[in-house]
Structure 1
Amino acid sequence: MNKGPSSMGREVYATDYKVGQDNVQFLGLDVHNPVFGITAFIIFAFVIGSIAFPENARDILMTARGWSIDNFDWFFMISGNIFVLFCLAFIFLPMGKIRLGGTNARPEHSTYAWFCMLFAAGMGIGLMFWSVAEPVAYYTGWYGTPLNVEARTPEAESLAMGATMFHWGLHPWAIYAVVALALAFFSYNKGLPLTMRSAFYPLFGERVWGVLGHFVDILAVIATIFGLATSLGFGAQQATSGLNFLFGVPNTLISQIVVIAVVTGVTMISVARGLEGGVKILSNLNMIIAALLAAFVLIVGHTGALFGVMATTIVGYVENIIPLSNMVGRDDQTFYHGWTVFYWAWWISWSPFVGMFIARVSRGRTVREFVIAVLLVPTVISIFWMSIFGGSAIEQVQQGTGALSDGIGEVSLAMFQMFEQLPLTSIISLISIILVLVFFVTSADSGSLVIDGITAGGKTDAPVTQRIFWAVLEGIIAVALLVGGGSEALTAIQAAAITIGLPFTLLMLIMCLGLYKGLKSDLKFVQ
């Protein structure tokens, strides 16, 4: 591998490729020609096909999703475990001292703002809905129980909280961390463009600027925009369900379109304001509102019992992380495939988007600091969040109070049903809806930045109109899917995104090899 001159305590890779050299300009856009064109064709073909034949598209893509999950469950599970161990190793290895951007680089954002942004982009929305629905589902056996534990028993409570944390703790954040660390290191330390293909340069050299790199970038963009569009569509359905449940607002297609329009409009404003004035401010606001909401539930609930639930959650997570990580001889196939393997494929399909955004805001951090913040801190926060909301929900089930005592009916209503048993129900429910919508805005905003960067060939200073274009396109796709095919079309596109998780898992394993090789080459600059 050719090396460039040493600079700022690092050795850059020498390459003839220049950022933007393959770009074309039209209609005010500055895009990478092969990636943008091919991606646009594939996206529109999938969307039109899903709208024209929603049931057929759903059946075909659900079959593909099922095939990848059922036949490669072992591959997803082994890979997830490797990613966790790979990331944890950097906390203790000398490579952890390497600073992203070189020895003289310093963080561009405060630690608090940095954490808020990565957390909001990573899984803020999911925590809002699944922190109640998932523990109750496992405890009551709504769709299988983890490790075939008997439902509604003390053992089921411990496993419900432990399994929930298993899905929202170290493993998903390790998946994000691998992609984010690789992109940040090769961009800031080795002088390569901030785009997915750069992570494979140590292994494939100049070939990453050709067909191989195009394939990687196209796969990343498709997974990102499909994931964002389906999340926005399903999120609109969930938000209108909550508004209907609380205030009698009609849960109609028009209401869902209005929600998407509002989210897209706010996203456009946030995107136009840039990273500092947009997603950073909204992420900070999100964390403040979320903290206040959690504090309220903790105070008005049975505080002492909830602290006990936190202990139960930690013990359940630690005791069961190895059995739940095992893929051999599993008897709980419904839970194993329907929840765990599905989650792993989903997190991996989201890793290009979340990973690249985390890389974008992580310049100046050491590798050790990066791993601790991205892997361990969110896990600790999730333990508190899941214990507060999931513990309150399970307690209502055990006491036979409220709608949750009958188990999960509609997932999107689970949190609101839990709030019904608390004081100031309408106020905290409205706050939670606002919080969900703002989380959607931060996801759409950060997603637009990521897609824009990839389709611009790694440029970080593309025209603002270009980022707005992607933000609007995400909303248009979500509306088109809802209008043309409803939930069937959304499910089809979601299945496509999850199916992409299979080849991307292999790419991530290759990425680990390249990252280790690159970090090892920089050890000589660590004092």
Structure 2
Amino acid sequence: MDDYTRKKKSLDWIAFSLSGGLLVLFVIASFINVDLVGEWIGQAFSVTAKYFGAYWQVLLLIMFVIGILLAFSKYGKVRLGKMERPENGNFRWVAMILCTLLASGGVFWAAAGPMYHFITTPPLFPDIKAGTMSAAFPAMAQSYLHWGFTAWASLGTLTTIVLMYVHYHKGYPLKPRSLLYPMLGERVFNKSVLGSTADIVSILAAAAGTIGPIGFLGLQVGYGLNAVFGIPNTFFTQAVIIIFLAVIASISAATGVERGIQWLSRINVSLVVVLMVAMLILGPTLFIIDLFIGSEAFHLQNFLTMSLYRVDQAWLGSWTIFFWGWFIGYGPMMAMFISRISRGRTIRELIIAVSIIAPIVSNFWFTVVGGSGIFYEIENPGSVSTALNESGMPATVMAILNQIPLGTVLAIGFIIVSIIFVATTTDSMSYTVGVTLSGTDEPNRLNRVFWAIMFGVVAVSLLAIGEGTVSTLQNFIVVTAAPVSLLLLPSLWDAPKIAAKLAKEQNIGKKK
């Protein structure tokens, strides 16, 4: 098996050329006729949301439930990765996990999401009057659903179990196509069209999911710098910010997981904790605590109903289905990254960290930021919602911080956190794309740096076209998620089978 693995460590030029080429082709087509590309992507988005939406909702819910059942069964004791002790300490490990989904958009959605749902009550709760205290609980609960348990479960639970088994226990390359190994066997690695397709669509989906937020958060940071320091919010400013982020990410990716990525992750999570505690103390402390407890109870009480809601298709396409497509598109790549940092962990540790701890931390973060906005909106109607409606998400954060003592200091903290979050997302994704193309845990440095720089360059190109193209690319995420979601399906039955097999090998559950 070692000889086989060594032969497969060379760069996969077919996947590299097709994934990179299609991405460049998309940008070129956008420059030539952005309206036509936007129309095509919009139509593809509508078709995908219509025919895959219900499947995605059921897929993510079942993935979460099976993961929880595995974690708290005897199979939870199974140790993954052929290592007796974890490579990374608990804080370092959880920090790197948190800097995956939360980094992709959690900073600004934490303010905008709850406020959107507060001033326009989700359709599942038509009897609750928008803009009132009663609307605060479903508003937060809806954000919890979109960034909570099922969202995190899609990134690295069952799929991580499969990938770690195929790579570390069987010795095959760490690639998205490895998810098909339990079903198709070794032939999925031998010049397999299906295997190459799995890798390519996963790269495209992860690239779309990374480039969109890079460009988007470039706009957010530009707005923040203008609001705090008066720096002109121009395309040049935004381009400099994004290139700066890409350079940081490329340096981090080049130094590998053990140095750059985990170092940035620890710094960022520490800063988020400081910001969260500062906002909690300086802001409406008791209101936030009460809102978190009440909203979490509301969320758990209505969890199944919200998860499987299917009535208002237009609303679902704009919210739940959009987020599920985004996160499913990230799924294989994030699972690869989490596989790489989780050697020596048990299934129970993995599931609890990814599907329980990370969502609860995200939910509390959303409550501190978004809950503060709801408090100030109730106290002074229009103080936050007007900024959101007129200027979008970045204005929402600033409108909230303007009403908190030391708001300017906190605003600077948010800008720094946003910058590092984008860098951590970019470096982890460039690392996993490099792993996919090389099939080894330590891909060539130039390979990693190339993708980090490419993500930044494409994001700048999209900003040059206009803000609309960034949202078009985000819709493109949902389109690319359709084939990726089929790739995730076998893990629903493969992960439990693998857990049972490893439990037998590790003599877990046998009577003494």
Instruction: Give the TM interval when normalised to the shorter protein.
Output: over 0.9
Match among 285, 297, 302 for residue 303 of structure 1: 285
Gaps of 5+ in 2: 508-512
* Matched pairs, number: 501
AA aligned opposite 1:327: Y
Match among 125, 138, 150 for residue 159 of structure 1: 138
**Where does 1:180-191 land on structure 2 (aligned, <5 Å)?**
180-191=160-171
Q: Which moved more, 1:215-224 or 1:241-250?
A: 241-250
Q: Which residue of 1 aligns with 2:457?
A: 476
**Where does 1:229-378 land on structure 2 (aligned, <5 Å)?**
229-328=211-310, 330=311, 332-378=312-358
In structure 1, what is the Cα distance between the partners aligned to 2:368 and 2:443? 42
In structure 2, what is the Cα distance between the partners aligned to 1:352 and 1:287? 23
1:18 matched to 2:1? The reply is no
Give the CA RMSD over aligned residues. Answer: 1.9
Alpha carbons of structure 1 residues 158 and 470: separation in structure 2 relative to 1, 3 Å? same
Shift of 1:345: 1.0
Q: Which residue of 1 aligns with 2:81?
A: 101
Q: Which residue of 1 aligns with 2:440?
A: 459
In structure 1, what is the Cα distance between the partners aligned to 2:22 and 2:2? 30
Q: 3-state DSSP class of the match of 1:193?
A: coil
Asked if the contact 2:119–2:131 (Cα under 8 Å) also holds between the matched residues in 1, the reply is yes
Asked if the contact 1:452–1:466 (Cα under 8 Å) also holds between the matched residues in 2, the reply is yes
**Where does 1:54-453 land on structure 2 (aligned, <5 Å)?**
54-102=34-82, 104-141=83-120, 145-148=123-126, 149-176=128-155, 177-209=157-189, 210-328=192-310, 330=311, 332-400=312-380, 403-406=383-386, 408-409=388-389, 410-453=392-435
TM-score w.r.t. structure 2 length? 0.93
Alpha carbons of structure 1 residues 339 and 405: separation in structure 2 relative to 1, 3 Å? closer
Q: Which residue of 2 aligns with 1:509?
A: 489
In structure 1, what is the Cα distance between the partners aligned to 2:106 and 2:14? 37
Q: Which moved more, 1:401-410 or 1:277-286?
A: 401-410
What per-residue deviation string (whole Å, max 9, x for no partner) do you get for residues 468-491 of structure 1? 1111111111112222x2223323
Alpha carbons of structure 1 residues 436 and 224: separation in structure 2 relative to 1, 3 Å? same
Alpha carbons of structure 1 residues 421 and 154: separation in structure 2 relative to 1, 3 Å? closer
AA aligned opposite 2:78: I
Shift of 1:17: 7.9
Gaps of 5+ in 1: 1-14, 24-29
Asked if the contact 2:70–2:496 (Cα under 8 Å) also holds between the matched residues in 1, the reply is no
Shift of 1:146: 4.5
TM-score w.r.t. structure 1 length? 0.91
What per-residue deviation string (whole Å, max 9, x for no partner) do you get for residues 378-428 of structure 1? 122123212211221101110116631547221122111100001122211
Q: 3-state DSSP class of the match of 2:442?
A: coil
Q: Which residue of 1 aligns with 2:510?
A: none
Q: Which moved more, 1:513-522 or 1:302-311?
A: 513-522
Q: 3-state DSSP class of the match of 2:232?
A: coil
In structure 2, what is the Cα distance between the partners aligned to 1:424 and 1:116? 27
Q: Which moved more, 1:517-526 or 1:236-245?
A: 517-526
AA aligned opposite 1:469: F
Asked if the contact 1:402–1:420 (Cα under 8 Å) also holds between the matched residues in 2, the reply is no
Q: 3-state DSSP class of the match of 2:388?
A: coil
Alpha carbons of structure 1 residues 183 and 424: separation in structure 2 relative to 1, 3 Å? same
Asked if the contact 1:246–1:426 (Cα under 8 Å) also holds between the matched residues in 2, the reply is yes
Asked if the contact 1:199–1:515 (Cα under 8 Å) also holds between the matched residues in 2, the reply is no
Asked if the contact 1:47–1:477 (Cα under 8 Å) also holds between the matched residues in 2, the reply is yes
Alpha carbons of structure 1 residues 124 and 38: separation in structure 2 relative to 1, 3 Å? closer
Match among 488, 498, 502 for residue 518 of structure 1: 498
